[in-house]
Structure formats: C-alpha cells, structure tokens
A and B are shown apart, each in its own frame.
Chain A
Amino acid sequence: MLGNFGYIGIFLISALGFAIFMVLIPPILRRSGIVPKKPNPTKSSTYECGMETVGKSWVQFNFRYYFFALLFVIFDIQVVFLYPWAVAFKQLKLFGLLEMLAFFLILVVGFIYAWRKGVLEWK
C-alpha cells in the first residue's frame, strides 16, 4: 500500500525539478552570452496577463446581492441533482420520481422561507 505513495514522490520531484529548471533558464542564457542585455521600460515591467486595473479594487457592493447569491446556490444544487436524475430516470421508475419530489419539497421550504422573509423584494 505504502509503495503507491512512491508515484506521488516521483511526481513531486519532477514538478519541483521542472519549476527550478524554468527559473534557471534566463540567468543561464544571460551568463553564457547567448542573449544580449538591451533593457527598455516595457521589457523590464512586471509581466501580468489581462488589462491594467482602472481605479481601486475596494469598491462597495450592495449587500442585497449576497441574498441573491445564496438563493442562487439553492437552485444551482437543484439543477446539479436534476441532471443525473434525468439521465437515470427510466431505471429509477416511480421511486426515483417520489424521491426527487421529496428533495424538491425540502428545497421549496427554503424558497418559501426566503420569500416570506422578504428577501426577494428590492427596497
């Protein structure tokens, strides 16, 4: 059993080796004189993907989005369960249908709760 962890060790060593190798390429090329040194502002700036940010990232969001995110999670889970259920619907027969209905009922209780507590109103 423990021997299987040997594969993980090989993965670990090769991953570390690869990372160190990639970091070492530029200085080796530079020292050996293959790459000439010609700096300019664009070249020596930090490399990042994507656009440069505009303005500060500390923007305040409306707190109500948080409730909608939570409600979204409820229906998201519902869909996650619906797909495999729909695929296996024929084999599951009536019992599967009843089981899914019970699951729906529990979720609907959560939805009714949110509704009655006024979460869906945008004041």
Chain B
Amino acid sequence: MNLYLLAPEISLCALALVVILLDLFIGRKWILGAVSIAGLIVPAAFTIALWGTNETSFNGMLVVDQFSLFFNLFFLVSTALVLLSSTEYASKFAAFRGEYYALVLLAAMGMMLMASTRELISIYIALELTGISLYALTGFLKDPKSSEAGLKYLLLGAVASAVLLYGMALVFGLTGTTHLEGIKAAISAEGLLASPALLMGIVLLVAGFGFKIATVPFQMWVPDVYEGAPTPITAYLSVASKAAGFAVILRVFYEALGPVSLDWSIIFAVLAAITMTLGNVVAIWQTNIKRMLGYSSIAQAGYLMIGLATVSALEPGAIGSSGPSALVFFLACYALTNLGAFIAIIAISNKIDSDEISDYSGMARRAPLLSLALALCLISLIGIPPTAGFMAKIYIFSAAVDYGLIWLVIVAVINTVISAYYYLRVIRVMFLGAPLSEERVPSSGALRAALSFACLGVLVLGIYPWVLLRIAEAAVRMFP
C-alpha cells in the first residue's frame, strides 16, 4: 500500500479541513478564499510530480495512471477557476463562506477519486462524496428558488444513485467481483447477449452515470437546478461534475465492459443523437441565460457522447483510439469555454442583478471587455474558428467519421447550425440592443484574472491545440 499515490487527494482533504478550522478561528473571512485557491497548488504539484507513474494500490482499488492524473489536474484547474469566480459572489452568503469553500474542495476530492478508482464500490462512494457536497452547495443561497433546486437535485440524485447501485449489484451478481479487471475477465468468457440480466445491469449503469452527465432521458433536473443554484456552482456542475461522470464512464465501460463494446456503443450513439437534438431545440425558447446554458450543456453532453459511441477498441493494440482521446480533448476545451461563459455571466449578473437575456441589452457599451469575452466563449460553444470549440468539434467528428458513424455526424452538424441561432441571439442582444442604463458594470480583479485565463485558453487551444492533443492521447493510451 503506497500512500504517496494518494497524495493529491489526501492534501486536498487536508486543505478542506484547514479551511473549516480557519473559518472558526479567524475574523477576516477573505483569507478563506485566498487559502483555498492558493492551497490547490499543493495537490496540483503532487499530481504533476506523479505524472508518468502507472501503479495500483489498496488491493487494486486505487489506480494512478495518465488518465487519472490528467483528470486530477483538470478538476483542480476548474475548481481553482470556480473558487476565483466565487470570491466576490460569496458575499451573498457571508456567514457560510468557510462551509462553501470546504464543500467545493471536498466535491473536487470526490471527483478526483471518481477518475482514479477501479472498483465499483469505491466509484460509488466517490460519486456520493461529490454528489452530497453538490446537493448542499446547490441550495446555498437559501432563497425559494435555490432551495427548490437543492431539493430537486437531492431527490433525483438519490433515485439515480439507487438505479446505479442496482446496476452494480446485477453486474456483481453475474460476474462475482466488483473489480473492473475481474468483471472484464468474467464477461469476455460469455457474450453479452447470452445473459439478459447482465445487459440489464449495463443499461442501469448507463442510467445512473447518465444522470451525472445529464443525458436524455435523465436531463430533467438540469434547467431547474442550473437556474436556482449559485452561479459559480452552476458552472461547477456543468463542467467538473459532468467531466467526472465522463471519466467514470470511460473507466468502467472501456476497462470492464470493453469486450462487449459493440453492444453498448450503439446505446451511446442513439442517446447522443437524442440528447443533442433535445438540448439544442429546447434552448431556443429560453429567456433566462442560466437556463439557456443549462440546455446548451445538455446539447454539449450529446456531442461528447459521440466520443463514447466511437469505440476503437475493436483491434487490440491499434494506435487510432481517437474516440476516447477526442472525448478527453473536447472535455478540456468545453470546460474552459463554459467556465469562461459562466464567469462573464457572474460578473455581469452580479451588478445588474438579473439573469434574463433581455436585460443584457446593450451590454457591449456598459462592459465592453466582459461582453467581448462572453461573445468569444459563445462562439467557441458554437464551434466557429479560431476557438477551442472548433478544434474540439473537428476532432470528435473526424473520429466518428473514421469509425463509420456518418449518420451521427450529420445529426451533430445540423444541431450545430441550430445551436448557432440561440448563441448568436445573446451576442446580438449585447452588441446591437439599446442599453437599459448608462451605468458601467465593473468587475473584481479575481473575476478578471479567471476570465482572462479561460479566454486565453480558448484562443490558444483554437490556434495551437497540439500540446493538449498529445496529452489527451497520452491520457487514454492505457485503454485497449
């Protein structure tokens, strides 16, 4: 048992405890935010120091490889951006800042564990650690909308956990082990179609994880929860929590259920087509920008699932495993873009105290830089060059074409055109609408730093994506 392998998670947990204790004994609360953000350097440093290792520990429950380390870094960066964007926002719940920061850190720890476990029970515990922290954070504003969102998320999340556990129980009952390698060995012996109960278990697993990534038909909670939750937490849900769900799906389905990939890849292909169509079509009618981005994140989950449907595990040892690497690359681009969009919205909405798109009218004259940043992120969400979203879409679509999923790519391209309508509408309102008042919209230094990081990332990845592509390919290399 090698505790050093767990160093990023342990240091993050210690950081959360330190934040809780500091909250109790110091009066100047701004220190809490600073400590949480600066403290993230420690787990990030451990993660980078561990890069290149490929070991398992704790009886094979914990695995440290390029994939888990990549996601560790992914979660730490998105957590840092979310914390940076909530330093000003936290004044809305001034009495509970310590709890807020600590819960965000604990949720990040759960996500990191989700990407680095190789055993069903540990996956479930990590999932719950993330989930319970996020349920509490969703209801943090304590106004009727936020409480409703928190309760809805809790109830639906509990149902999804039950479904997931049932799926895990069926898989365990039919294979006799909770370890992913053991499941793989037991499955490859008998085909999937020979055992309907195992198929049932896999479908239930898809349902349970599908709740986390908000795919149709488990997307009902998204609009209400996204609208009611504090905006930094909405950003957190739409980026980190979704990425954690994808990490777990990649881990479970590629490692344990790889031999029967033909059976489940078609499930993901159909779900992807329905998810992106529903998300995009419903987003057109939204008047609240948080709700609109909620439906947009459903649609993006649909694009991401193309990567799951594009299984290249057919010939073992082949280098062209472009489906998973395209998915990981898309996740990174999507994270920067969506976080950027949400940070801009936090900055604007904090001052005008409204999330309605119509209130953004003429924002380009009141806050030129913020509007420009928001426009850049929305363009990246559509997938227009020279942004990260364009590169991500090119890469994931070409992977699907190589695999022969032409029909899915056609559906996705039509969807991209539909999505351009509602993204561009926001830009039109901001740049061509008449301003509702002449008052300027200022923003804090932390918000500006986070926003410029995200926008810079979007532009750099759009023009020079190769570095991240290599890292993404390295991250998924151990998948067969």
Contacts and interface: CB of A to CB of B under 8 A. Distances in A.
B20 A109 contact: yes
Q: Is the interface of B mostly helix, strand, loop or mixed?
A: helix
Contacts of A117: 24
A112 B195 contact: no
A109 B21 CA distance: 7
A113 B24 contact: yes
B24 A1 contact: no
A117 B25 CA distance: 11
Given A1-B174, A2-B195, A2-B197, A112 B17 contact: no
Given A1-B174, A2-B197, A106 B17 contact: yes
A116 interface: yes
A112 B174 contact: no
A112 B197 contact: no
Contact of B24 (A2, A5, A112): A112
Contacts of B24: 112-113, 116-117
Nearest to B194: A2
Contacts of B17: 105-106, 109
Contacts of B173: 1
Interface string B4-28: 0000000001000100110011000
Q: Quick one: which of B17, B25, B176 has the most chain A CB within 10 A? A: B17
Interface string A89-122: 0000000000000000110010011001100000
Interface string A1-39: 110010000000000000000000000000000000000
A109 B17 CA distance: 7
A1 B189 CA distance: 12
Nearest to B25: A116
A117 B24 CA distance: 8
B20 A113 contact: yes
Nearest to B186: A1
Contacts of A5: 197
A109 B20 CA distance: 8
B230 to A, nearest CB: 21
Interface string B455-477: 00000000000000000000000
11 contacts: A1-B173, A1-B174, A1-B176, A2-B174, A2-B195, A105-B17, A106-B13, A106-B17, A113-B20, A113-B24, A116-B24
Interface of A: 1-2, 5, 105-106, 109, 112-113, 116-117
